[in-house]
Structure 1
Amino acid sequence: MLSRLARLSRPQALALSALPVAALLGVTAFAPLPFSVAQPGGTADVLGEHEGKPVLTVSGLPTRETEGQLRMTTIVATGPQMTVRLGDVIDGWFRTDRAVMPRDSVYPEGDNEKEVEEHNLGDMRESQDDATKAALAYLRKNGVDGTEKVQVKADLGKIGGPSAGLFLALGIIDKLDGNGSGGDLTGGRTIAGTGTIQADGKVGAVGGVSLKTRGAARDGATVFLVPKAECEAAEAEKPKGLRLVPVTTLSGTVDALRALAKGGKVPTC
Protein backbone atom coordinates (compact mmCIF):
# COMPACT_ATOMS: atom_id res chain seq x y z
CA MET A 1 0.00 0.00 0.00
CA LEU A 2 2.82 2.42 0.84
CA SER A 3 4.57 1.79 -2.51
CA ARG A 4 1.34 2.45 -4.38
CA LEU A 5 0.78 5.70 -2.43
CA ALA A 6 4.33 6.76 -3.26
CA ARG A 7 3.55 6.62 -7.00
CA LEU A 8 0.42 8.80 -6.61
CA SER A 9 0.36 12.56 -6.94
CA ARG A 10 -0.12 14.53 -3.67
CA PRO A 11 -3.82 15.31 -4.38
CA GLN A 12 -4.45 11.66 -5.26
CA ALA A 13 -2.72 10.45 -2.10
CA LEU A 14 -4.63 12.87 0.10
CA ALA A 15 -7.91 11.88 -1.49
CA LEU A 16 -7.17 8.19 -0.97
CA SER A 17 -6.07 8.75 2.65
CA ALA A 18 -9.24 10.69 3.36
CA LEU A 19 -11.44 7.72 2.50
CA PRO A 20 -10.96 5.88 5.84
CA VAL A 21 -11.46 9.17 7.72
CA ALA A 22 -14.67 9.89 5.82
CA ALA A 23 -15.86 6.37 6.52
CA LEU A 24 -15.07 6.75 10.21
CA LEU A 25 -16.94 10.05 10.39
CA GLY A 26 -19.85 8.46 8.59
CA VAL A 27 -20.05 5.75 11.23
CA THR A 28 -19.57 8.25 14.09
CA ALA A 29 -22.37 10.46 12.80
CA PHE A 30 -24.86 7.67 13.51
CA ALA A 31 -23.22 6.20 16.62
CA PRO A 32 -24.35 7.22 20.13
CA LEU A 33 -21.76 9.31 21.96
CA PRO A 34 -21.03 9.58 25.74
CA PHE A 35 -22.22 13.18 26.00
CA SER A 36 -25.23 15.11 27.25
CA VAL A 37 -26.50 18.33 25.72
CA ALA A 38 -27.70 20.90 28.25
CA GLN A 39 -29.66 24.13 27.95
CA PRO A 40 -31.12 26.75 30.33
CA GLY A 41 -33.90 25.36 32.48
CA GLY A 42 -36.62 27.04 34.47
CA THR A 43 -36.16 29.32 37.46
CA ALA A 44 -38.16 29.39 40.68
CA ASP A 45 -38.72 32.28 43.09
CA VAL A 46 -38.03 30.85 46.54
CA LEU A 47 -40.06 33.70 48.06
CA GLY A 48 -43.12 32.71 46.04
CA GLU A 49 -44.70 29.59 44.61
CA HIS A 50 -43.57 26.80 42.33
CA GLU A 51 -46.18 24.71 40.54
CA GLY A 52 -48.89 26.28 42.68
CA LYS A 53 -47.27 25.56 46.06
CA PRO A 54 -45.19 27.83 48.32
CA VAL A 55 -41.50 27.06 47.91
CA LEU A 56 -40.73 27.95 51.53
CA THR A 57 -43.07 27.45 54.46
CA VAL A 58 -41.55 28.89 57.64
CA SER A 59 -43.21 28.41 61.03
CA GLY A 60 -42.30 29.08 64.68
CA LEU A 61 -41.73 32.84 64.25
CA PRO A 62 -43.72 35.56 62.48
CA THR A 63 -42.80 35.91 58.82
CA ARG A 64 -42.81 39.13 56.83
CA GLU A 65 -44.34 40.07 53.50
CA THR A 66 -41.60 40.32 50.91
CA GLU A 67 -41.17 42.21 47.67
CA GLY A 68 -38.77 41.35 44.88
CA GLN A 69 -37.77 37.86 43.90
CA LEU A 70 -35.00 35.39 44.70
CA ARG A 71 -34.85 33.07 41.69
CA MET A 72 -32.86 29.87 41.87
CA THR A 73 -31.81 28.65 38.43
CA THR A 74 -31.59 25.28 36.72
CA ILE A 75 -30.35 23.58 33.58
CA VAL A 76 -31.97 20.72 31.70
CA ALA A 77 -29.94 18.03 29.96
CA THR A 78 -30.58 15.07 27.72
CA GLY A 79 -31.28 12.08 29.94
CA PRO A 80 -28.71 9.40 30.80
CA GLN A 81 -30.38 6.92 28.45
CA MET A 82 -31.01 9.32 25.58
CA THR A 83 -28.93 8.98 22.44
CA VAL A 84 -26.67 11.92 21.55
CA ARG A 85 -25.06 11.79 18.09
CA LEU A 86 -22.28 13.70 16.38
CA GLY A 87 -24.69 16.21 14.85
CA ASP A 88 -26.09 17.05 18.28
CA VAL A 89 -22.59 17.56 19.67
CA ILE A 90 -21.49 19.81 16.81
CA ASP A 91 -24.70 21.84 17.07
CA GLY A 92 -24.19 22.24 20.81
CA TRP A 93 -20.59 23.41 20.41
CA PHE A 94 -21.58 26.21 18.06
CA ARG A 95 -24.59 27.52 20.01
CA THR A 96 -24.38 29.82 23.02
CA ASP A 97 -27.68 28.51 24.44
CA ARG A 98 -26.43 24.92 24.53
CA ALA A 99 -23.53 23.16 26.21
CA VAL A 100 -22.02 19.75 25.51
CA MET A 101 -20.87 17.92 28.63
CA PRO A 102 -19.45 14.44 29.28
CA ARG A 103 -22.41 12.33 30.34
CA ASP A 104 -20.64 11.06 33.46
CA SER A 105 -20.14 14.65 34.64
CA VAL A 106 -23.90 15.27 34.42
CA TYR A 107 -24.95 11.84 35.71
CA PRO A 108 -22.06 10.53 37.82
CA GLU A 109 -24.35 8.40 39.94
CA GLY A 110 -25.59 6.03 37.22
CA ASP A 111 -27.45 5.68 33.95
CA ASN A 112 -30.93 4.77 35.14
CA GLU A 113 -33.30 7.74 35.00
CA LYS A 114 -35.26 6.74 38.10
CA GLU A 115 -32.08 6.24 40.12
CA VAL A 116 -30.75 9.59 38.90
CA GLU A 117 -33.97 11.35 39.93
CA GLU A 118 -33.92 9.74 43.39
CA HIS A 119 -30.26 10.67 43.85
CA ASN A 120 -30.89 14.29 42.84
CA LEU A 121 -33.93 14.61 45.10
CA GLY A 122 -31.82 13.25 47.94
CA ASP A 123 -29.23 15.94 47.24
CA MET A 124 -32.00 18.54 47.30
CA ARG A 125 -33.28 17.34 50.69
CA GLU A 126 -29.77 17.48 52.13
CA SER A 127 -29.33 20.93 50.63
CA GLN A 128 -32.58 22.11 52.25
CA ASP A 129 -31.38 20.91 55.65
CA ASP A 130 -28.03 22.67 55.26
CA ALA A 131 -29.75 25.84 54.03
CA THR A 132 -32.00 25.89 57.10
CA LYS A 133 -29.06 25.35 59.46
CA ALA A 134 -26.99 28.05 57.77
CA ALA A 135 -29.82 30.59 57.69
CA LEU A 136 -30.81 30.08 61.33
CA ALA A 137 -27.18 30.24 62.47
CA TYR A 138 -26.81 33.52 60.59
CA LEU A 139 -29.99 34.93 62.18
CA ARG A 140 -28.92 33.89 65.69
CA LYS A 141 -25.54 35.53 65.19
CA ASN A 142 -27.31 38.71 64.13
CA GLY A 143 -29.58 38.94 67.13
CA VAL A 144 -32.80 37.27 66.00
CA ASP A 145 -34.36 35.49 68.98
CA GLY A 146 -36.46 32.34 68.90
CA THR A 147 -34.72 30.61 66.01
CA GLU A 148 -34.74 27.34 67.96
CA LYS A 149 -38.53 27.26 67.39
CA VAL A 150 -38.31 27.68 63.63
CA GLN A 151 -39.24 24.90 61.27
CA VAL A 152 -38.79 25.13 57.53
CA LYS A 153 -40.38 23.12 54.74
CA ALA A 154 -39.14 23.56 51.19
CA ASP A 155 -41.00 22.32 48.11
CA LEU A 156 -39.49 22.59 44.64
CA GLY A 157 -41.36 19.67 43.16
CA LYS A 158 -39.08 17.38 41.16
CA ILE A 159 -36.20 19.86 40.93
CA GLY A 160 -33.19 18.01 42.29
CA GLY A 161 -29.56 18.60 43.11
CA PRO A 162 -27.83 20.81 45.68
CA SER A 163 -27.48 24.05 43.70
CA ALA A 164 -30.52 25.82 45.20
CA GLY A 165 -28.98 25.78 48.69
CA LEU A 166 -27.78 29.39 48.74
CA PHE A 167 -31.14 30.73 47.58
CA LEU A 168 -33.15 28.66 50.03
CA ALA A 169 -31.01 30.09 52.84
CA LEU A 170 -31.48 33.65 51.54
CA GLY A 171 -35.23 33.07 51.28
CA ILE A 172 -35.45 31.97 54.93
CA ILE A 173 -33.50 35.06 56.03
CA ASP A 174 -35.67 37.39 53.96
CA LYS A 175 -38.91 35.90 55.27
CA LEU A 176 -37.80 36.17 58.90
CA ASP A 177 -35.60 39.26 59.03
CA GLY A 178 -35.32 40.90 55.61
CA ASN A 179 -32.25 43.08 55.40
CA GLY A 180 -32.17 43.44 59.18
CA SER A 181 -33.40 47.05 59.02
CA GLY A 182 -37.03 46.58 58.04
CA GLY A 183 -36.50 46.30 54.29
CA ASP A 184 -36.33 43.49 51.80
CA LEU A 185 -33.14 41.57 51.21
CA THR A 186 -33.76 41.89 47.48
CA GLY A 187 -34.26 45.66 47.57
CA GLY A 188 -37.34 44.98 45.44
CA ARG A 189 -35.23 43.58 42.58
CA THR A 190 -35.39 40.24 40.81
CA ILE A 191 -32.21 38.54 41.99
CA ALA A 192 -31.19 35.22 40.46
CA GLY A 193 -28.23 32.94 40.96
CA THR A 194 -26.93 29.60 42.06
CA GLY A 195 -24.65 27.97 44.61
CA THR A 196 -24.55 25.12 47.07
CA ILE A 197 -24.55 25.88 50.78
CA GLN A 198 -22.91 24.19 53.73
CA ALA A 199 -24.32 24.31 57.24
CA ASP A 200 -21.48 26.68 58.20
CA GLY A 201 -22.54 29.12 55.48
CA LYS A 202 -19.86 28.42 52.88
CA VAL A 203 -21.05 28.73 49.28
CA GLY A 204 -19.89 26.09 46.81
CA ALA A 205 -19.55 25.87 43.04
CA VAL A 206 -22.10 24.25 40.74
CA GLY A 207 -22.30 23.28 37.07
CA GLY A 208 -23.80 24.97 34.02
CA VAL A 209 -23.35 28.55 35.26
CA SER A 210 -23.18 30.11 31.79
CA LEU A 211 -26.50 28.49 30.89
CA LYS A 212 -28.07 29.54 34.18
CA THR A 213 -27.24 33.21 33.53
CA ARG A 214 -29.28 32.97 30.33
CA GLY A 215 -32.24 31.47 32.14
CA ALA A 216 -32.00 34.21 34.76
CA ALA A 217 -32.01 37.02 32.19
CA ARG A 218 -34.88 35.38 30.32
CA ASP A 219 -36.96 35.41 33.52
CA GLY A 220 -36.34 39.06 34.35
CA ALA A 221 -33.32 39.02 36.67
CA THR A 222 -30.96 41.99 36.65
CA VAL A 223 -28.49 40.58 39.20
CA PHE A 224 -26.93 37.13 39.29
CA LEU A 225 -25.20 35.74 42.39
CA VAL A 226 -22.44 33.36 41.35
CA PRO A 227 -19.94 31.31 43.37
CA LYS A 228 -16.71 33.28 43.08
CA ALA A 229 -14.78 30.32 41.68
CA GLU A 230 -17.10 30.33 38.66
CA CYS A 231 -16.87 34.00 37.71
CA GLU A 232 -14.97 33.24 34.52
CA ALA A 233 -17.57 30.73 33.33
CA ALA A 234 -20.39 33.15 34.14
CA GLU A 235 -18.68 36.00 32.29
CA ALA A 236 -18.13 33.88 29.17
CA GLU A 237 -21.74 33.99 27.97
CA LYS A 238 -23.21 36.67 30.23
CA PRO A 239 -26.40 38.18 28.80
CA LYS A 240 -26.43 41.93 28.29
CA GLY A 241 -27.72 43.88 31.28
CA LEU A 242 -27.11 41.12 33.85
CA ARG A 243 -24.86 42.12 36.74
CA LEU A 244 -22.68 39.40 38.25
CA VAL A 245 -21.99 39.42 41.99
CA PRO A 246 -19.43 36.84 43.21
CA VAL A 247 -20.09 35.23 46.60
CA THR A 248 -18.25 32.84 48.91
CA THR A 249 -20.30 32.80 52.14
CA LEU A 250 -23.90 33.35 53.19
CA SER A 251 -23.02 36.34 55.39
CA GLY A 252 -21.00 37.88 52.56
CA THR A 253 -23.92 37.39 50.19
CA VAL A 254 -26.30 39.19 52.57
CA ASP A 255 -23.78 42.03 52.92
CA ALA A 256 -23.54 42.31 49.13
CA LEU A 257 -27.33 42.45 48.76
CA ARG A 258 -27.57 45.13 51.44
CA ALA A 259 -24.91 47.18 49.69
CA LEU A 260 -26.65 46.71 46.37
CA ALA A 261 -29.94 48.01 47.77
CA LYS A 262 -28.20 51.09 49.20
CA GLY A 263 -26.19 51.80 46.07
CA GLY A 264 -22.96 50.97 47.86
CA LYS A 265 -19.85 49.12 46.72
CA VAL A 266 -20.62 45.57 45.61
CA PRO A 267 -18.09 42.86 44.64
CA THR A 268 -17.71 42.19 40.93
CA CYS A 269 -16.29 39.32 38.87
Structure 2
Amino acid sequence: MSSRARALTICAALVLALLLTAALAPLPYSLAYPGPTANVLGDNKGKPVITISGADTRRTSGQLRMTAIVATGPDAPVHLPDLVRGWFRADEAVMPSESVYPVGDNTEEVARHNAAEMKESQDAAVGAALGQLHRSARDVEVTLRLADIGGPSAGMMFALGIIDKLDGDGSGGELTGGRTIAGTGTIETDGSVGPVGGVPLKMRAAHRDGARLFLVPKAECSQAVAERPRGMRLIPVTTLKGALDALKALKSGGSVPSC
Protein backbone atom coordinates (compact mmCIF):
# COMPACT_ATOMS: atom_id res chain seq x y z
CA MET A 1 0.00 0.00 0.00
CA SER A 2 1.37 3.39 -0.97
CA SER A 3 1.89 6.12 1.61
CA ARG A 4 -0.98 8.09 0.05
CA ALA A 5 -3.34 5.14 0.32
CA ARG A 6 -2.34 4.60 3.95
CA ALA A 7 -2.98 8.29 4.71
CA LEU A 8 -6.44 8.13 3.09
CA THR A 9 -7.24 4.97 5.04
CA ILE A 10 -6.22 6.58 8.32
CA CYS A 11 -8.23 9.73 7.55
CA ALA A 12 -11.28 7.67 6.65
CA ALA A 13 -10.96 5.72 9.90
CA LEU A 14 -10.70 8.94 11.91
CA VAL A 15 -13.76 10.42 10.19
CA LEU A 16 -15.71 7.22 10.83
CA ALA A 17 -14.67 7.27 14.49
CA LEU A 18 -15.79 10.90 14.82
CA LEU A 19 -19.14 10.11 13.20
CA LEU A 20 -19.67 7.13 15.50
CA THR A 21 -18.76 9.26 18.52
CA ALA A 22 -21.22 11.95 17.45
CA ALA A 23 -23.96 9.38 16.86
CA LEU A 24 -23.47 7.74 20.24
CA ALA A 25 -22.79 10.81 22.39
CA PRO A 26 -25.74 12.02 24.52
CA LEU A 27 -27.01 15.44 23.45
CA PRO A 28 -28.69 18.23 25.52
CA TYR A 29 -32.10 17.68 23.95
CA SER A 30 -35.34 15.93 24.82
CA LEU A 31 -37.89 14.27 22.57
CA ALA A 32 -41.47 15.33 23.28
CA TYR A 33 -44.73 13.66 22.26
CA PRO A 34 -48.48 14.35 22.57
CA GLY A 35 -49.37 13.55 26.16
CA PRO A 36 -52.57 12.89 28.10
CA THR A 37 -55.59 15.16 28.22
CA ALA A 38 -58.06 15.33 31.08
CA ASN A 39 -61.57 16.74 31.34
CA VAL A 40 -61.41 19.13 34.29
CA LEU A 41 -65.21 18.95 34.57
CA GLY A 42 -65.11 15.18 35.09
CA ASP A 43 -63.23 12.58 37.06
CA ASN A 44 -59.59 11.56 37.04
CA LYS A 45 -58.84 8.07 38.30
CA GLY A 46 -62.26 7.89 39.94
CA LYS A 47 -62.08 11.22 41.76
CA PRO A 48 -63.56 14.54 40.63
CA VAL A 49 -60.95 16.96 39.33
CA ILE A 50 -62.86 19.95 40.78
CA THR A 51 -64.59 19.70 44.16
CA ILE A 52 -66.48 22.72 45.46
CA SER A 53 -68.05 23.29 48.87
CA GLY A 54 -69.85 26.31 50.23
CA ALA A 55 -71.79 26.95 47.00
CA ASP A 56 -74.19 25.17 44.69
CA THR A 57 -72.65 23.59 41.61
CA ARG A 58 -74.07 22.89 38.17
CA ARG A 59 -74.27 19.70 36.14
CA THR A 60 -72.21 19.81 32.96
CA SER A 61 -72.43 17.71 29.82
CA GLY A 62 -69.58 19.25 27.83
CA GLN A 63 -65.86 18.85 28.40
CA LEU A 64 -63.01 21.24 29.12
CA ARG A 65 -59.87 19.25 28.45
CA MET A 66 -56.47 20.35 29.69
CA THR A 67 -53.59 19.10 27.58
CA ALA A 68 -50.03 18.00 28.23
CA ILE A 69 -46.92 16.68 26.57
CA VAL A 70 -44.63 13.86 27.63
CA ALA A 71 -40.89 14.02 27.09
CA THR A 72 -37.79 11.95 27.59
CA GLY A 73 -36.40 12.59 31.06
CA PRO A 74 -33.29 14.60 31.94
CA ASP A 75 -31.46 11.40 32.80
CA ALA A 76 -32.52 9.57 29.60
CA PRO A 77 -29.84 10.00 26.90
CA VAL A 78 -30.88 11.31 23.48
CA HIS A 79 -28.56 10.67 20.54
CA LEU A 80 -28.14 12.11 17.06
CA PRO A 81 -30.26 9.43 15.29
CA ASP A 82 -33.11 10.19 17.72
CA LEU A 83 -32.95 13.88 16.86
CA VAL A 84 -32.88 13.28 13.13
CA ARG A 85 -35.99 11.09 13.43
CA GLY A 86 -37.75 13.66 15.63
CA TRP A 87 -37.10 16.52 13.22
CA PHE A 88 -38.96 14.71 10.46
CA ARG A 89 -41.98 13.47 12.44
CA ALA A 90 -45.12 15.50 13.06
CA ASP A 91 -45.92 13.59 16.27
CA GLU A 92 -42.55 14.28 17.88
CA ALA A 93 -40.67 17.46 18.71
CA VAL A 94 -37.01 18.05 19.43
CA MET A 95 -36.69 20.51 22.30
CA PRO A 96 -33.67 21.73 24.30
CA SER A 97 -33.63 19.89 27.60
CA GLU A 98 -33.41 23.15 29.53
CA SER A 99 -36.69 24.34 28.01
CA VAL A 100 -38.45 21.13 29.04
CA TYR A 101 -36.73 20.72 32.40
CA PRO A 102 -35.50 24.14 33.57
CA VAL A 103 -34.98 22.75 37.08
CA GLY A 104 -33.63 19.35 38.14
CA ASP A 105 -31.02 16.93 36.88
CA ASN A 106 -33.00 13.74 37.40
CA THR A 107 -36.55 12.45 37.18
CA GLU A 108 -37.27 12.81 40.90
CA GLU A 109 -36.19 16.46 41.07
CA VAL A 110 -38.19 17.28 37.95
CA ALA A 111 -41.30 15.58 39.37
CA ARG A 112 -41.06 17.63 42.57
CA HIS A 113 -40.61 20.85 40.61
CA ASN A 114 -43.55 20.09 38.31
CA ALA A 115 -45.78 19.21 41.26
CA ALA A 116 -44.92 22.52 42.93
CA GLU A 117 -45.69 24.42 39.71
CA MET A 118 -49.00 22.58 39.37
CA LYS A 119 -49.97 23.53 42.93
CA GLU A 120 -49.15 27.20 42.30
CA SER A 121 -51.13 27.06 39.06
CA GLN A 122 -54.13 25.54 40.80
CA ASP A 123 -54.07 28.20 43.53
CA ALA A 124 -53.90 30.94 40.88
CA ALA A 125 -56.76 29.32 38.95
CA VAL A 126 -58.98 29.29 42.03
CA GLY A 127 -58.15 32.93 42.76
CA ALA A 128 -58.75 34.01 39.16
CA ALA A 129 -62.05 32.11 38.85
CA LEU A 130 -63.49 33.35 42.14
CA GLY A 131 -62.31 36.87 41.37
CA GLN A 132 -64.05 36.75 37.98
CA LEU A 133 -67.27 35.69 39.70
CA HIS A 134 -66.83 38.19 42.56
CA ARG A 135 -66.92 35.42 45.13
CA SER A 136 -64.85 35.12 48.26
CA ALA A 137 -62.51 32.25 49.05
CA ARG A 138 -63.75 32.53 52.64
CA ASP A 139 -67.17 31.36 51.50
CA VAL A 140 -66.35 29.02 48.61
CA GLU A 141 -63.77 26.27 48.99
CA VAL A 142 -62.35 24.75 45.81
CA THR A 143 -60.16 21.65 45.71
CA LEU A 144 -58.38 20.57 42.53
CA ARG A 145 -57.00 17.08 42.00
CA LEU A 146 -55.25 15.87 38.88
CA ALA A 147 -52.87 12.96 39.30
CA ASP A 148 -49.73 12.28 37.25
CA ILE A 149 -49.67 15.65 35.45
CA GLY A 150 -47.48 18.55 36.53
CA GLY A 151 -46.51 22.03 35.47
CA PRO A 152 -48.44 25.30 35.20
CA SER A 153 -50.00 25.04 31.73
CA ALA A 154 -53.44 23.78 32.85
CA GLY A 155 -54.17 26.94 34.83
CA MET A 156 -56.59 28.55 32.39
CA MET A 157 -58.57 25.34 31.90
CA PHE A 158 -58.87 24.87 35.67
CA ALA A 159 -60.22 28.40 36.02
CA LEU A 160 -62.76 27.87 33.23
CA GLY A 161 -63.83 24.59 34.83
CA ILE A 162 -64.45 26.25 38.20
CA ILE A 163 -66.52 28.97 36.55
CA ASP A 164 -68.56 26.43 34.57
CA LYS A 165 -69.26 24.46 37.75
CA LEU A 166 -70.34 27.55 39.70
CA ASP A 167 -71.91 29.86 37.14
CA GLY A 168 -71.98 28.27 33.70
CA ASP A 169 -72.39 30.90 31.00
CA GLY A 170 -73.99 33.28 33.48
CA SER A 171 -77.46 32.99 31.97
CA GLY A 172 -78.57 29.51 32.96
CA GLY A 173 -76.61 27.38 30.50
CA GLU A 174 -73.31 25.58 30.66
CA LEU A 175 -70.21 27.34 29.43
CA THR A 176 -69.21 24.68 26.91
CA GLY A 177 -72.60 24.37 25.22
CA GLY A 178 -72.12 20.60 25.43
CA ARG A 179 -68.98 20.71 23.28
CA THR A 180 -65.57 19.18 23.88
CA ILE A 181 -63.19 22.12 24.17
CA ALA A 182 -59.48 21.80 24.85
CA GLY A 183 -56.83 24.36 25.59
CA THR A 184 -53.66 25.38 27.33
CA GLY A 185 -52.27 28.46 29.05
CA THR A 186 -50.95 29.58 32.39
CA ILE A 187 -53.11 31.74 34.64
CA GLU A 188 -52.40 34.53 37.10
CA THR A 189 -54.73 35.55 39.90
CA ASP A 190 -55.59 38.72 37.96
CA GLY A 191 -56.89 36.54 35.12
CA SER A 192 -54.05 37.08 32.64
CA VAL A 193 -53.24 34.06 30.47
CA GLY A 194 -49.64 33.32 29.58
CA PRO A 195 -47.87 31.25 26.89
CA VAL A 196 -46.71 27.68 27.36
CA GLY A 197 -44.54 25.22 25.48
CA GLY A 198 -45.40 22.32 23.21
CA VAL A 199 -48.59 23.78 21.70
CA PRO A 200 -48.42 21.74 18.44
CA LEU A 201 -48.15 18.48 20.38
CA LYS A 202 -50.92 19.53 22.77
CA MET A 203 -53.20 20.27 19.82
CA ARG A 204 -52.53 16.77 18.48
CA ALA A 205 -53.37 15.29 21.88
CA ALA A 206 -56.60 17.31 21.99
CA HIS A 207 -57.56 16.28 18.45
CA ARG A 208 -56.85 12.63 19.30
CA ASP A 209 -59.20 12.87 22.29
CA GLY A 210 -62.11 14.40 20.41
CA ALA A 211 -61.68 18.18 20.68
CA ARG A 212 -62.13 20.38 17.61
CA LEU A 213 -61.90 23.69 19.46
CA PHE A 214 -58.64 24.75 21.07
CA LEU A 215 -58.02 27.77 23.30
CA VAL A 216 -54.44 28.93 22.75
CA PRO A 217 -52.44 31.80 24.24
CA LYS A 218 -52.51 34.55 21.60
CA ALA A 219 -48.71 34.87 21.62
CA GLU A 220 -48.49 31.33 20.23
CA CYS A 221 -51.09 31.72 17.47
CA SER A 222 -48.64 31.72 14.56
CA GLN A 223 -47.04 28.44 15.60
CA ALA A 224 -50.43 26.91 16.33
CA VAL A 225 -51.81 27.90 12.90
CA ALA A 226 -48.77 26.47 11.14
CA GLU A 227 -49.14 23.06 12.79
CA ARG A 228 -52.80 22.64 13.72
CA PRO A 229 -54.46 19.31 12.94
CA ARG A 230 -57.08 19.22 10.22
CA GLY A 231 -60.46 20.50 11.41
CA MET A 232 -59.12 22.17 14.57
CA ARG A 233 -60.47 25.68 15.27
CA LEU A 234 -58.13 27.95 17.22
CA ILE A 235 -59.38 30.63 19.61
CA PRO A 236 -56.70 33.08 20.85
CA VAL A 237 -56.77 34.06 24.52
CA THR A 238 -54.95 36.68 26.57
CA THR A 239 -57.23 36.83 29.65
CA LEU A 240 -59.70 34.62 31.47
CA LYS A 241 -62.47 37.12 30.67
CA GLY A 242 -61.53 36.94 27.00
CA ALA A 243 -61.81 33.15 27.07
CA LEU A 244 -65.22 33.38 28.73
CA ASP A 245 -66.45 35.95 26.22
CA ALA A 246 -65.28 33.77 23.32
CA LEU A 247 -67.04 30.67 24.65
CA LYS A 248 -70.26 32.61 25.27
CA ALA A 249 -70.13 34.06 21.74
CA LEU A 250 -69.52 30.57 20.37
CA LYS A 251 -72.75 29.41 22.03
CA SER A 252 -74.82 32.39 20.92
CA GLY A 253 -73.53 32.54 17.36
CA GLY A 254 -71.71 35.80 17.96
CA SER A 255 -68.31 36.91 16.73
CA VAL A 256 -65.54 34.61 17.98
CA PRO A 257 -61.87 35.60 17.60
CA SER A 258 -59.59 33.26 15.70
CA CYS A 259 -55.89 32.86 15.14
Q: Normalization by structure 1: what TM-score?
A: 0.90
Rounded Cα–Cα distance in structure 2 between residues aligned with 1:15 and 1:211: 46
Look up the match of 1:33: 27
Look up the match of 1:268: 258
| RMSD of aligned Cα (Å) | 2.0
Alignment of 1:106-255 (within 5 A): 106-140=100-134, 148-255=138-245
Letter of the 1:207 partner, please give it: G
Q: Which shows bigger deviation, 206-215 or 148-157?
A: 148-157
Rounded Cα–Cα distance in structure 2 between residues aligned with 1:22 and 1:34: 22
Q: Are residue 82 (structure 1) and residue 76 (structure 2) matched?
A: yes
Compute the displacement of 1:259 (Å).
0.5
C-alpha contact 2:130 2:136 (8 A) present in aligned 1: no
* Deviation by residue 1:130-151 (Cα, 9 ceiling, x = unmatched): 00000001001xxxx6664111
Compute the displacement of 1:27 (Å).
1.2
Rounded Cα–Cα distance in structure 2 between residues aligned with 1:29 and 1:95: 19
Q: Structure 2 residue aligned with 1:57, among 45, 51, 68?
A: 51
Give the 3-state SS of the residue equivalent to 1:74 in structure 2: strand
Compute the displacement of 1:264 (Å).
1.4
* Deviation by residue 1:194-247 (Cα, 9 ceiling, x = unmatched): 000000000000000000000000000010000000011211221011100000
Rounded Cα–Cα distance in structure 1 between residues aligned with 2:42 and 2:195: 25
Give the 3-state SS of the residue equivalent to 1:23 in structure 2: helix
* Gapped regions of structure 2 (runs ≥ 5): none
Give the 3-state SS of the residue equivalent to 1:111 in structure 2: coil
Rounded Cα–Cα distance in structure 1 between residues aligned with 2:12 and 2:255: 59
C-alpha contact 1:126 1:162 (8 A) present in aligned 2: yes
Compute the displacement of 1:28 (Å).
1.0
Rounded Cα–Cα distance in structure 2 between residues aligned with 1:18 and 1:102: 32
Compute the displacement of 1:94 (Å).
0.3
Rounded Cα–Cα distance in structure 1 between residues aligned with 2:129 and 2:153: 16
Rounded Cα–Cα distance in structure 1 between residues aligned with 2:16 and 2:128: 56
* Gapped regions of structure 1 (runs ≥ 5): 9-13
Rounded Cα–Cα distance in structure 2 between residues aligned with 1:26 and 1:146: 62
* Deviation by residue 1:65-104 (Cα, 9 ceiling, x = unmatched): 0110000000000011001111111110000000001111
Rounded Cα–Cα distance in structure 2 between residues aligned with 1:18 and 1:93: 28
Rounded Cα–Cα distance in structure 2 between residues aligned with 1:262 and 1:25: 60
Distance 1:245 1:18, change over 3 A: farther
C-alpha contact 1:44 1:72 (8 A) present in aligned 2: yes
Letter of the 2:58 partner, please give it: R
C-alpha contact 1:61 1:147 (8 A) present in aligned 2: no
* Percent identity for Structure 1 against Structure 2: 62
Letter of the 2:130 partner, please give it: L
Compute the displacement of 1:20 (Å).
4.9
Give the 3-state SS of the residue equivalent to 2:133 in structure 1: helix
Rounded Cα–Cα distance in structure 1 between residues aligned with 2:17 and 2:257: 53
Letter of the 1:263 partner, please give it: G
Compute the displacement of 1:249 (Å).
0.2
Compute the displacement of 1:22 (Å).
4.2
C-alpha contact 1:61 1:146 (8 A) present in aligned 2: no
Compute the displacement of 1:113 (Å).
1.1
